[in-house]
Amino acid sequence: MKEITGYPHIDKPWLEYYDKRYFEPLSEETVYDFFISNINGHLSSIATEFYGYKISYGKMIDNISNLAKGLSAIGVVKKDRILSILPTLSTTANLFYAASKIGAVSDFYDPRPDSINSTITGKKIIEIIKKEKIKHIIILDQCYETFFSKVEDELKEIGIEPVVIFSINDAMNNRAQFGYLFDEIDKNGYNIDSLKKLKDKLSLMKKNNEHINDVLKKSKLNIIRYNDLINNSRYNKVINNVYSPNELALIVHTSGTSGAMPKPIPLTNENLNTHVQQIFATGERYSTSDSVFHLLPYFASFGIGDVAHYGFCCGAKMIQIPEFTPDDLPRKIYKTKPNMVIAAPTMLNPLMDNHYLDGKDLSFLKRITVGGGEFPREKEMQVFLKKHNAENCRLEYGYGMSECTGSTSIKYHKEEKIGSIGRPLPYMNYIIIDPTTRKPLKFDENHKIITGEAYASSPSVSLGILDGETIVPHYVIDGIDCIKTGDLINMESDGSMSFNTRIDRTFTRFDGYKYKPYVMEQIISECDEISECIINEYYDEEKRGNMAIANITLNAEYINLDKKSIVENILNKLINNKDISTRQIPTKIRFLDEMPLTKNSKYDYKCLLEHKIDGREYTIEIDETNISVGEIKIIPPKSNSKKLVLSK
């Protein structure tokens, strides 16, 4: 019998909860070969659906093969890196597998502009192209117009040619086009006003497309349309890449790092495939009859590891959602009727808050998987599901990191208590470190629950090195290679865990963006007027999720200065800073006479969090969806009260 040591990273008490058939052997295949080996036998099943346009797995394989031929035809070879700036579409999945098929590396980048100044956004991507040694680009046409039309000289200098341009129309047949029209009418209501809105929108789209086409015709670069890429290379031949250990397969990016520039996360075939294998081991593998609401993007580990690669390797139907607003999510879910929904906690708030679903039957839901942030409304969601005839829907909660290819633990609501983040997945190992002594903690008769900083180890953990540069530091503890999570975790003796706190106060915005307050605090504090700045999250009723509020005190000589002019100065400083993402700009600014302090004379972050929005804040209104950023406005406080001192 195995000796029990009390150390969770040695005893691994969570393993008894998983299907051991999947433990060995670990995958030794390319991402493409792993996908093919898992879907053989159900090629007639539906792989993707987009506004009613359905593509089978057999057709998907053909599309992947044709794209691989096209990539080879424009000079893509083994180890070349392809920058993909595409939303969540079947073509994005095809690119991921086609690149793997020929041994190239997919480098997925967020298609959302992160600045109202398109030139700044373009120059940021130019820096990423240089830093990440990009050789080829496939980009959505409207993104090309926004990002690159003003920096074509820099692209030409780097030697990125040809540029492959993809249009949403390339992803739509007649069925999808009609589906889109009916969806727009349904969204606005079946009336004359709705038809007028649709007519105006189509007119605007036509005008925008004409402008984009004009930009592309005048481009200084060699532009190839996606359909031409495919049609002109049908008779090319490609040789499948042969697996070799620790070969780079994918680069994704984190959000909310030390600046606007996202941190690249290099992932290997082993990282991606073993991540899928360990989810198989939970015993909850999707079936070919399951449909998945494919919402999370490819540029994030969770989007590709937990949704795309996992879903496709299960043979599920992936319902493509390239663009959304929080208020329209309930309608999209009801209309597409997926069995599975995977989303950030804040994306689920509209389901409970929006009256669209009142009285509607949601019994089609089998599983909702939540990850990427805390889920304080878990119990409320359970009540909501029961109210809508979905009491049998399994509500799962996952915890993880981009550096671990996505989720690292999973919780099933029928097994574990509210607030739990589940047990580590079977290939994961957690070492719980005492923050004071920096030594591993153990269970004993006095410690049935231990609390400490979690270090993670798994074959799904990124090797952390890209082109010789350490991106993700690794540590060796008790002979185990691991990475630091930066989170304090409570672990029970059976391996069940709950989240305690993020050491650096990171929180998740409504759209899944990881917001690190200390970055913006430092920049705002550099303004002459500002004495102190502390940023925390607040709940935004309109977006139904967290946004950032900056709590500010002023230097003495600026106390009587017009507050709106100070807000304007701060905003101008942030907008014109190329290292700042629009998503980092606080949407509320609160002026305080003094910062609240604890009895130990330290900043009282809890007090700031507990003080609700009361109308005395300046609002920075930013027009944004999940793929666009528009106008920015300053809205003055609703209250005339000047003095504001926070205290417990």
H/E stretch holding 343 reads: strand 340-343
The per-residue pLDDT for 256 is: 45
Beta carbons within 8 Å of 36's beta carbon, 6+ residues apart: 61
Matching CATH number, 19-323, of 3.40.30.10, 2.60.40.1250, 3.40.50.12780, 3.40.190.10: 3.40.50.12780
Task: Please state, in angstroms and as integers, the Cα–Cα distance from residue 50 to each residue in 46, 47, 176, 287, following that order.
Answer: 11, 10, 6, 20
Which pLDDT score is estimated for 624?
Answer: 64
Q: What are the φ and ψ backbone dihedral angles of 440, each rounded to 5 degrees?
A: -60, 140
Please provide the average confidence, as pLDDT, over all residues in the chain.
88
Q: Give the residue with greater pLDDT, 575 vs 470.
A: 470
Q: Which residues contact 522 (CB under 8 A, 6 or more apart)?
A: none
Task: Tell me the CATH number for domain 507-635.
Answer: 3.30.300.30
pLDDT of 62-74, one tens digit each?
Answer: 999 999 999 999 9
Q: What stretch of H or E contains 95?
A: helix 90-102
Q: If you average pLDDT over residues 534-546, what whole number do you get?
A: 87
**pLDDT higher at 640 or 511:** 511
Q: What would the mean pLDDT of 379-404 be, rounded to a whole number?
A: 91
Which of 345, 293, 348 lies closest to 316, judged by CA?
Answer: 293
Q: Which residue has the higher pLDDT, 445 or 321?
A: 321
The larger pLDDT score, comparing residue 364 to residue 351, is at 364
Q: Please name the residue that has the structure tokens 């794209």.
A: 67
Would you report the helix, strand and coil content of the chain in percent, each value rounded to 5? 35, 25, 40
**Six-digit token string for 495:** 């391996």
Q: Which amino acid is at 464?
A: G
Tell me what the mean pLDDT of segment 353-377 comes to. Answer: 88
**Alpha helices, H only, 232-268:** none
Please tell me whether the overall predicted TM-score, pTM, comes out greater than 0.85 for this model.
no
pLDDT digits (tens, 9 = 90+) for 592-604: 988 887 655 567 8
Q: Which of 133, 97, 91 is nearest to 111 (CA)?
A: 91
Dump pLDDT digits (tens) for 22-61: 777 788 999 999 999 999 889 999 999 999 999 999 999 9
pLDDT at residue 258 tops 60: no
CA atoms in the 13 A half-sphere facing the CB of 520: 31
d(CA 552, CA 532): 6
Average pLDDT of 435-449? 85
Interacting residues of 643 by C-beta distance below 8 A, sequence separation 6+: 593
The position carrying tokens 């409207």 is 142
What confidence score (pLDDT) does residue 286 get?
92
DSSP β-bridge partners for residue 424: 409
- Residue 223, both tokens: 């532009």
Q: Please say if the pLDDT value at position 590 is more than 90.
A: yes
The rounded distance, in Å, linking the Cα atoms of 252 and 259 is: 16
Instruction: Name residues whose C-beta falls within 8 Å of residue 520's C-beta, 6 or more positions apart in sequence.
Output: 533, 535, 548, 550, 574, 580, 584, 585, 586
Q: With 90 as the cut, is the pLDDT of residue 575 above it?
A: no
Query: Does the pLDDT at position 200 exceed 90?
Result: no
- Euclidean distance between CA atoms 110 and 88, whole angstroms: 10
- What is the C-alpha to C-alpha distance for residues 154 and 409, in angstroms, rounded to an integer? 43
pLDDT digits (tens, 9 = 90+) for 301-329: 999 999 999 999 999 999 999 988 888 89
Q: How many residues does the chain have?
A: 648
Assigned token pair, 643:
């003095």
- pLDDT band at residue 644 using 50, 70 and 90 as cut-offs: low
Helix or strand (DSSP H, E) at 335: helix 329-336
What span, in angstroms and rounded, lies between the C-alpha atoms of 10 and 175?
A: 55
What proportion of the chain, given as a percentage, has pLDDT over 70?
Answer: 94
Report the candidate in 84, 91, 99, 92 with the shortest Cα–Cα distance to residue 32.
Answer: 99
Q: What is the mean pLDDT of residues 497-505?
A: 78
Choice among 80-84, 361-365, 403-407, 625-629 with the minimum mean pLDDT = 625-629
Which positions ≥6 away from 550 have C-beta within 8 Å? 520, 521, 524, 533, 534, 535, 570, 586, 588, 589, 590
Task: Give the helix ranges, DSSP H, for 480-622.
Answer: 517-525, 563-575, 605-610
Helices (H) and strands (E) in the chain, counts: 19, 30
pLDDT per residue over 132-170, tens digit each?
A: 999 999 999 988 988 888 889 998 999 888 999 999 989
Cβ neighbours of residue 465 closer than 8 Å, sequence gap 6 or more:
266, 471, 472
Q: Give mean pLDDT, residues 188-195.
A: 82
* 632 or 579: which leads in pLDDT: 632
Going from N- to C-terminal start, the domains of the chain cover: 19-323, 507-635
